[in-house]
Each structure stands twice: as structure tokens, then as C-alpha cells.
């Protein structure tokens, strides 16, 4: 496999928990070929798994289970991973507003759960969430090039 800039790989799996591993394995294969460190790959694996788990748990609630499509796009600056489902959407702006208000709260006041999106933000360089038809989470990680070794 010889990855080149602007090429992409896409994996489409049923929105079931047991398929999330397939996505993580694919991420591992691609990110290591593209030059990410072990630590960076581990961080991305957690973030991508959180996005997939959200699609598995929340997207198709009360309806027939659909799919999750994960697209890995390589570019010179790094990798862009899009996790997409066609389930029911949610009010992301509202969740963000809630997140800001978390800062003034004691940890014990914050309910368990509801941490997946924060984790993605902490582990990736950029996170975008689009909620039109279903949900699309775009996770970006920049490649730290070591100029001295180049
Ligand atoms: N793909 C999705 N489809 C529909 N709703 C979603 C999706 N992703 C997130 N949500 C909504 O946003 C909320 C926040 O997601 P987040 O991952 O931050 O927390 P959580 O999944 O509730 O808990 P945790 O991830 O900590 O187990 C979810 O509870 C759900 O209501
Ligand atoms: Mg979650």
C-alpha cells in the first residue's frame, strides 16, 4: 500500500458495536502508513471509536439500524476522518452551550456520560459536527513533521 496525498479510504459497516473494531483496525493501518506516531494513533483510535459508538448507540434509536461510514482522507498536513450516519440528528449547538457551562461546575455535579464529544475535542486537533440528515463528525489530526530528520 503506497498512500498518496488526496487519496482516500472509506469503510462502511453496520451500526453495531462489534463492527467498531474493524474501523479501528483500518485507522491503525492507514495512520501508521501515513507517518503518525503510536501515541497519536492511540488518541485517534479513541476519538474515532467515540464517534462510531455514538452512531451505534444514538443515531438509530427507535428505528431500524443503519450503517456508519468512515472516510479517511490523507493530505500533506495530516488526516481527516469523517464518521457519518443517516440516523436521527441532534441539537449540537445546544450541547455546545451546555459544554461551556460545565466549566463553572464541580466534577461531581456533572452527570456521567456525555463525555464522548469532549474526548474527541481533547484528542484531535479539530472537530466539526454537522447534523443535517443524520450526523457527520469530522475529526482532523495534523502530522507533526520532524524537520530536523527530514
Ligand atoms: N451520531 C449521533 N446521532 C444522534 N445523536 C448523537 C450522535 N452523536 C451524539 N449524539 C447526541 O449527543 C449526545 C452527546 O454525545 P457524547 O458522545 O458527548 O455523550 P454520550 O454518548 O451521551 O455519552 P458517552 O459518550 O460519554 O458515553 C448524545 O447523548 C446524543 O444525544
Ligand atoms: Mg458518546
142 CB near ligand 1 (under 6 Å): no
59 CB near ligand 1 (under 6 Å): yes
Q: Which residues pair with 68 in a beta bridge?
A: 13, 85
pLDDT, residue 7, reads 83
- Residue 74 burial by CB count (10 A; 0-12/13-18/19+): exposed, middle or buried? buried
This model's pTM is above 0.85? yes
Q: Going by C-beta distance under 8 Å and a sequence separation of 6 or more, which residues neighbour residue 16?
A: 56, 65
Is domain 10-142 classified as CATH 3.30.565.10? yes
CA of 129, nearest ligand number: 1
Sheet containing 126-130, strands listed edge to edge, beginning at the edge strand earlier in sequence: 8-14, 67-75, 78-85, 135-142, 126-130
Q: Which atom of ligand 1 is nearest to the CA of 59?
A: 3
pLDDT, residue 114, reads 82
- Residue-wise pLDDT for 69-92, tens only, equals 999 999 889 999 999 999 998 888
CA of 55, nearest ligand number: 1
Vertex 137, ends 70 and 45: CA angle to 5°?
Answer: 60
Question: How far is 119 from 52, CA to CA, in rounded Å?
Answer: 13
pLDDT, residue 106, reads 65
Residue to probe by mutation, ligand 1, list 16, 46, 57, 58, most atoms within 8 Å of CB: 58
pLDDT, residue 108, reads 60
CA of 113, nearest ligand number: 1
Domain boundaries, the chain: 10-142
Which residues does the chain have with pLDDT short of 50? none
DSSP 110: S
Question: How far is 87 from 11, CA to CA, in rounded Å?
Answer: 17
95 CB near ligand 1 (under 6 Å): yes
How many Cα atoms are found within 13 Å in the side-chain-facing hemisphere of 111?
4
Of the candidates 5, 4, 21, 3, which has an alpha carbon nearest to the alpha carbon of residue 13?
Answer: 21
Report CA(99)–ligand 2 centroid distance (Å).
14
Of the candidates 81, 80, 78, 121, which has an alpha carbon nearest to the alpha carbon of residue 99?
Answer: 121
62 CB near ligand 1 (under 6 Å): no
Amino acid at each position: 500500500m503506497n498512500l498518496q496525498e488526496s487519496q482516500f479510504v472509506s469503510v462502511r459497516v453496520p451500526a453495531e458495536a462489534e463492527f467498531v473494531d474493524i474501523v479501528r483496525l483500518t485507522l491503525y493501518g492507514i495512520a501508521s502508513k501515513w507517518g503518525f506516531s503510536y501515541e497519536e494513533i492511540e488518541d485517534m483510535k479513541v476519538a474515532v471509536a467515540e464517534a462510531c459508538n455514538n452512531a451505534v448507540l444514538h443515531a438509530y434509536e427507535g428505528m431500524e439500524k443503519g450503517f456508519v461510514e468512515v472516510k479517511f482522507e490523507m493530505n500533506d498536513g495530516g488526516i481527516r476522518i469523517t464518521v457519518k450516519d443517516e440516523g436521527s440528528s441532534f441539537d449540537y449547538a445546544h450541547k455546545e452551550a451546555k459544554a461551556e457551562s460545565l466549566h463553572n461546575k464541580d466534577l461531581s455535579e456533572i452527570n456521567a456520560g456525555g463525555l464522548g464529544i469532549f474526548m474527541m475535542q481533547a484528542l484531535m486537533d479539530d472537530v466539526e459536527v454537522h447534523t443535517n440528515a443524520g450526523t457527520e463528525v469530522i475529526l482532523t489530526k495534523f502530522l507533526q513533521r520532524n524537520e530536523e530528520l527530514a
